Amino acid sequence: MRARLGRPRRWYLGLAAICLIGLGIRLFYLFHWLHPAAVQGDPFYYHEAANLFADGRGWPDPYELRLSGRYVADAQHPPLTSLLLAVPSVLGFTSFLSHQLFSCLLGVGAIVLVALAGRRVAGPATGLVAGGIAAVYPGMWLNDPLVMSETTGILTCAWIILAAYRFVDRRGFAEAGWLGLALAAVMLARAELALLALVLVVPLVATAPGVAWRRRAALLAVAAVTSVAGIAPWAAYNLARFHEPEYLSTGLGSTLAVTHCPATYSGRDLGWWSFDCVLALPPPPVERSERDAFYRHAAFDYIRDHSDRLPTVAAARLGRTWGVYHPWQQVRLDTIELRPLSLSRLGMVTLWVLEVAAVGGVVVLRRRRTPLLPLLAVPVTLSLATVVVYGTTRFRAAAEPAVVLLAAVAITAAAGRLAGPARSRVRRIAGGRPMRSETDQGYPT
């Protein structure tokens, strides 16, 4: 009994060691490559928005405030990343380095959630393998010290995968509420992932086996209510301060505007984005919801006039996101976000290995009759969102936990198959008697 009680403790000790390795890698990356950093672009937005919120100044456009001193209400990005970064800000740690360090800790939190999800999906060994991959795989940590929303996206997507499998196990009202809350967190991290409501939550709850349809409806209602409650404060805040209805973000229009124009529909930047798109447009309104609508209408007009190019553009976007269309050009383009070129190349090669292993993981789980929807929903959703907007490496970040988990399943299964014949040979050599380690440690023989 004592030995069996010790096994979970050893598992958590192993996870703690993996987390320390993951933290060490993130800190080495930060101080060796990125410190001191030029604070610009999206990292500047998240950093400044966190400090402004911690100072009680609400949610203005930090760029406008810095350049002109004007306070302009804004929701260019959903709030969760800056809300989390506001935690150290409230405690007095307002420097960009403080936010970089805190973001690295969020990355370690993602390691924990990935390991817990792996343990649920395919056992303790798979959990530790998944955690180990999450600790060292560049796709899981390249964004952390950059202070990007991809870190929050990875964290929340690992959470929703774990919450989905928890619902599969128990199918109770508490589990449905937990799933809805995870969905709200995902939406507050990355607005495009609101599609997970239709791709994951609704089908998972509505098709729960062995549950009466009335109970399924009640479970779905609980998930919906908790999800709406999670995003309601932010949505209500936006509805009260903008001229046009805005719920999660005012950033869709500007994103579409830089991705639907001649520069991104053909040539070198096919499937990516370009500032040339917005430079060709008239000056937009200052008020952010009106600006969002202005850019959306301009993008939709271009899409209608060039619909014949959409299949080609969509394929290029999808290929860029998953590393199969001009991958070396894409890693060079990624340097605009301050990603070191050598590490981006390492991440791309590692991605290809994990993608192949992930396909094997799908096969293994299908043979075991383990539900696959929680692991496939995020990659599918991310792919749909990529087709609509543009292809880039960082958009794939939210799907990395699913890729890591599926790869870990395949690796653990392969290791088990290879170890099986070796154990059989040892037993034959020992005359069929159990090994000393098996009996003394209380493991089943």
Lowest mean pLDDT among 32-36, 149-153, 362-366: 32-36
Report the SS3 class of residue 39. coil
Q: What span, in angstroms and rounded, lies between the C-alpha atoms of 390 and 90? A: 35
Question: What average pLDDT does this structure show over 190-208?
Answer: 95
pLDDT at 435 over 70: no
User: Which pLDDT band holds residue 337 (cuts at 50, 70, 90)?
Assistant: confident
Question: What average pLDDT does this structure show over 405-412?
Answer: 98
pLDDT at 438 over 50: no
pLDDT at 421 over 70: no
pLDDT in tens, 353-371: 999 999 999 999 999 999 9
Count of beta carbons in the 10 Å neighbourhood of residue 125:
18
| Mean pLDDT rounded to a whole number for the chain | 92
Closest CA to 148 of 198, 96, 73, 226: 96
Between 66 and 318, name the one with better pLDDT.
Answer: 318
Residues 6+ apart with CB under 8 A from 338: 34, 37, 38, 43, 146
**pLDDT at res. 8:** 87
pLDDT in tens, 156-190: 999 999 999 999 999 999 999 999 999 999 999 99
Closest CA to 119 of 154, 162, 87, 90: 162
- Spatial contact of 11 and 128, defined as CB atoms under 8 Å apart: yes
**pLDDT at res. 419:** 76
Question: What average pLDDT does this structure show over 373-390?
Answer: 95
Q: pTM of the prediction?
A: 0.92
pLDDT in tens, 246-282: 999 999 999 999 999 999 999 999 999 998 899 889 9
If you write DSSP's letter for every residue of 153-221 in order, what string do you get? Answer: HHHHHHHHHHHHHHHHHH--HHHHHHHHHHHHHHHHH-GGGGGHIIIIIHHHHHT-TT--HHHHHHHHH
User: Which pLDDT band holds residue 427 (cuts at 50, 70, 90)?
Assistant: low
Closest CA to 128 of 412, 370, 362, 400: 412
Between 7 and 140, name the one with better pLDDT.
Answer: 140
pLDDT at 433 over 70: no
Q: Tell me the two tokens of residue 427.
A: 């037993």
